[in-house]
Amino acid sequence: MPVLEEVKPRRFRRIGFHSHIKGLGLDEKGRARKIADGLVGQEEAREAAGIIVQMIKEGRMSGRGVLIVGPSGTGKTALAVAIARELGEDTPFVKLGGSEVYSTELKKTELLMQTLRKAIGVRLKERRVVYEGVVRELKIKRASHPFNPYIKIPIEARVTLGTKDDELTLTLSEEIAQQLIQLGVRRDDVIWIDAETGRVVKEGKVKSEGKEHDLMVAKLVEMPKGPVKKEKEIVHTVTLHDLDIYMASKKAGLELLLGFGATREISSEVRKAVDEEVKGLVEKGKAEIVPGVLFIDDAHMLDLETFSFLSEAMESELAPIITLATNRGVAKIRGTDIEAPHGIPLDLLDRLLIITTRPYTRDEIREIIKIRADEEEIPLTEEALEKLTDVGVERSLRYAVQLMEPAKIIASRHDRIKVTVEDVEEASRAFIDLKRSLEYVSKYKEAFLH
């Protein structure tokens, strides 16, 4: 089937845990609004992050990094995502868990180098033929996964795009359907699709007179004009790692023909060649560098060698904004008997701007649950919202958010449109939280294998 098939005249979405975050929610003076851009509370941390964003934009973060410290479930990852969103929609955001450094076949230094280059974007400009318009209708056709009949996967999409002057229906391939799902494309969203590559870009939601919009999570754009199919100058961003892979694959193809084996590591020669090519494009005005955000969670899991690598990377002329996060107080640096604040060497700590987060209040937990319910399209009764808020306060915010989807399924089984208190309680009985899990293990400790 062709990538795109033109045809003249039940949504399915995958929701990320931080997909609702659009920025730091600051006013023109850098003060945090109580609820804005998908964030709630943490005003002091958000305002500090706003200062960091301004430093980045003014080129004053060289040789520095960021450390976000706070208890579990206080929005450390959300804050890092918001920093990236403030820097621009196409700013790369790469998340790495501290333990992931030791759980791959690659050497630590190679994994870290690849991760760093994934967090550095190259913005390219070119003229392309695209299909652009507001989504009038979207239908996803799904079928059972070939290896697991209980999992449904998209195999085709049919979308109707419209402008002020034209309307066109397209039948799209499986790859494009998957992009639509991952981007959370819905009716009234303005998108464009590259006619040659099938790449999908979501520009925002079309402005409608007399209709309220959720300004916290939606970017409003004008209705496109002219034909749906058109030629336009587009800007797209790839990462240095993408270019490394492309260059290395061309070289590996030649080596395989000559009888040499391929390797998962990328040579310094390939990276140097990529850097030279990118530099040439930048000098010609055809590209620009987009430093992204490299977010390393559970930073206390890193060792001295990794900390040394990151410290040196901060000094590099071509480096992302390295942002670490931890929920530890004083801890031993991995692989040593040295204790340090947050398990991080003092010489590196001295180069980090440290932001602290605090536990959420009850009202803040309630607002966060409301935002998540809206993002995941889970209608809650007021009583159910209060019950989930209680769960968030007494157990954890993460557990409360996780209960919403099971509660929605339970409600549908009872033919209820909205999730009720009974649905939340039934979901809570079916899936225990961390505290009850520990109680369960303690109660039946003799029955568990040792």
What are 80-128's pLDDT values in tens digits? Answer: 999 999 988 888 999 988 888 877 677 888 888 899 999 999 988 888 8
238 has pLDDT over 50 = yes
Closest CA to 199 of 141, 124, 264: 124
Gap between the Cα atoms of 357 and 69, Å rounded:
6
pLDDT grade for 324, boundaries at 50, 70 and 90: very high
pLDDT grade for 408, boundaries at 50, 70 and 90: very high
Closest CA to 78 of 406, 408, 398, 407: 398
Right CATH for 36-124+245-356 from 3.30.70.330, 1.10.490.20, 3.40.50.300, 1.10.287.3510 = 3.40.50.300
Ranges in the chain annotated CATH 3.40.50.300: 36-124+245-356
Q: Give the lowest-confidence range in 125-139, 208-222, 226-240, 258-272.
A: 208-222
CB 302 within 8 A of CB 294: no
Q: What is the CATH code for 4-15+127-236?
A: 2.40.50.360
Length of the chain: 450
214 has pLDDT over 50 = no
Ranges in the chain annotated CATH 2.40.50.360: 4-15+127-236
CB 355 within 8 A of CB 69: yes
Right CATH for 362-440 from 3.40.50.300, 3.30.70.141, 1.10.8.60, 3.30.56.10 = 1.10.8.60
Q: Give the lowest-confidence range in 251-255, 364-368, 387-391.
A: 251-255
Gap between the Cα atoms of 158 and 160, Å rounded:
7
CB 334 within 8 A of CB 345: no
* Signed CA dihedral, 424, 427, 433, 435: sign only: positive
Ranges in the chain annotated CATH 1.10.8.60: 362-440
